[in-house]
Structure 1
Amino acid sequence: MAEFATSTSPADVVRRQYLASAAGDLEALRATLAPDVEWTEMAGFPLAGTFRTPHGVTSNVMEKLGQDWEGWTAHDDTYVVDGENVVVLARYTASNKATGKSIDVRVAHHFVVRGGLIVRFEQFVDTALVREAMSD
């Protein structure tokens, strides 16, 4: 486990990001992100946009998800690694706090990892399913 915690391999860095997110450990999550990270949430997603800096990512994405959703979790299922590129096939599960509606949505995430840190992230998700859970 100690090797995993310090490994700079792209897949291990990305896996640590998912584990930190699932645990709600924003400090550990920020530790996986480069100072100049570019984190893009897909157009049409409630938090759409590109966020920079580790604090910018956690305050504009993870903290806002926690405000609007109960139990927001990204379940990482399959990793496809090509050098510094890591594509993760995953799913989001959560319940919207305002409507009580749940989601179980398939997603794909593309990470670029350099020097043991995530420098870029792009999300691909069926935004209509997420928005549907947010509306009465």
Structure 2
Amino acid sequence: MTHESPAGVVRRQYLASAAGDLDALRATLAPDVEWKEMAGFPLAGTYRTPEGVTAAVMQQLGKDWDDWTAHDDTYVVDGENVVVLARYTAVNKATGKPIDVRVAHHFVVRGGLIVRFEQFVDTALVRDAMSA
């Protein structure tokens, strides 16, 4: 039996998200996951349970945006903490405006599952793309 590294678990989450595979994404999340979308972000709030996270975040992004993708660029790992420097790209369905915005994500991985996530993003750029 191999033990997947915290960075490996996080990478698997990004790959599942990019593929639109919500079952695979949920499989990376702990049953009591705490997922925080940043204040000012359109989906701001704290979500719990793998089903709650995918319903409130990933499925909602799919309703409002075409091709929403989180591109994971750089990983900084310290034990169970994984910080990923990334960027979001997408096109807003209502306005047709694209985004390409830098983000940072902080994950805590314990026992091979993501137990906590916190998003840091320039929310003004995302909201601008949503405004006509």
TM over 0.5: yes
**Which residue among 116, 125, 130 is the counterpart of 1:120?**
116
Q: Judging changes above 3 Å, is the alpha-carbon distance between structure 1 residues 86 and 133 closer, same or farther for their aligned structure 2 residues?
A: same
**Equivalence for 2:24:** 28
**Equivalence for 2:96:** 100
**Which residue among 116, 126, 131 is the counterpart of 2:127?**
131
Tell me by how many angstroms 1:82 deviates. 0.1
**Which residue among 18, 43, 49 is the counterpart of 2:45?**
49
- 8 A contact 1:8–1:115 mirrored in 2: no
Gaps of 5+ in 2: none
Tell me by how many angstroms 1:8 deviates. 2.3
- C-alpha offsets along residues 3-22 of structure 1, whole Å, 9 cap, x if unaligned? 9xx64210000000000000
- C-alpha offsets along residues 6-43 of structure 1, whole Å, 9 cap, x if unaligned? 64210000000000000000000000000000000000
- 8 A contact 1:80–1:87 mirrored in 2: yes
Gaps of 5+ in 1: none
**Which residue among 50, 59, 65 is the counterpart of 2:61?**
65
- C-alpha offsets along residues 31-68 of structure 1, whole Å, 9 cap, x if unaligned? 00000000000000000000000000000000000000
Tell me by how many angstroms 1:112 deviates. 0.1
SS class of match (2:42): coil
**Which residue among 36, 42, 55 is the counterpart of 1:40?**
36
SS class of match (1:98): coil
The Cα RMSD (Å) is: 1.0
Q: Which runs of 4+ in 1 moved over 2 A?
A: none
**Which residue among 107, 113, 122 is the counterpart of 1:111?**
107
**TM-score normalized by the length of structure 2:** 0.98
**TM-score normalized by the length of structure 1:** 0.95
**How many residue pairs end up in the alignment?**
132
SS class of match (1:78): strand
CA distance in 2, matches of 1:14, 1:54: 14
